[in-house]
Amino acid sequence: MSEDPYKVLGVAKDATQAEIKKAYRKLAKALHPDLHPGDKTKEAQFQAVAAANDLLGDPEKRKRFDAGEIDASGQERPQRQYYRDHAGADPQGRYASGAGYGDFEDLSGVFSDLFGRRGQARGGAQGFAARGADVRYRLVVDFMDAAMGAKRPVPLPDGSAIDLTIPAGVRDGQTLRLRGKGQPGFGGGPEGDAYVEI
């Protein structure tokens, strides 16, 4: 699990965006890999600082982190996704059940006994279906991998991994979309997508 980004940057939770930017620049300058070639510890610290700045330096991501919607690595917190599970569904059937008056179908037998004919239920009996939630990941890659392209595994919360092909020339901050690699759909709905920010 990633460290608290506020602790990584050494700033208070109520720090201004300017204070966060200043702290990041100071640490990035001191820990930059060019100043410490081959020092894996400094490189890991530099990557942690960059990840913390990516989260806290973006006011929207910072707001979502402070609200507990995403974790320190920028990934969605599954227990907070109940609304988003449904929000991504097809707008015309987002919250509507496809059953129509199907709930009354079981009563049609009673009416047929009373009136000598079987009542007709309106609508089908299919249940609620929703598209799965999208998930977001961050992946730190080496400069050469970004320049030349590479294949890297992206670990998932369930312990599995997605093999991500990083295209040559990928830019810092670029987001790659993996269709159908998000959360599973509900009621037979399609899977969400995975977005990997480089």
Q: What is the mean pLDDT of residues 150-170?
A: 74
Number of domains in the chain: 3
The pLDDT tens digits for 16-51 are 999 999 999 999 999 988 888 899 999 999 999 999
Same domain, 80 and 145: yes
For 182, residues 6+ apart whose C-beta sits below 8 A from its C-beta are: 132, 133, 134, 135, 191, 192, 193, 194
Structural domain containing residue 157: 75-89+131-198
Q: What is residue 125's predicted lDDT score, i.e. its pLDDT?
A: 43
Please calculate the CA angle 91-82-131 and round it to the nearest 5 degrees: 40
Q: What is residue 124's predicted lDDT score, i.e. its pLDDT?
A: 43
From CA 20, how far away is CA 6, in angstroms rounded?
A: 9
Q: How confident is the model at residue 80 (pLDDT cuts 50, 70, 90)?
A: very low
- pLDDT of 81 > 50? The answer is no
Element (H, E) at 6: helix 5-9
Token pair listed for 198:
């480089």
pTM over 0.75: no
Same domain, 80 and 175: yes
Q: How confident is the model at residue 87 (pLDDT cuts 50, 70, 90)?
A: low
- Residue 185: CATH number of its domain: 2.60.260.20
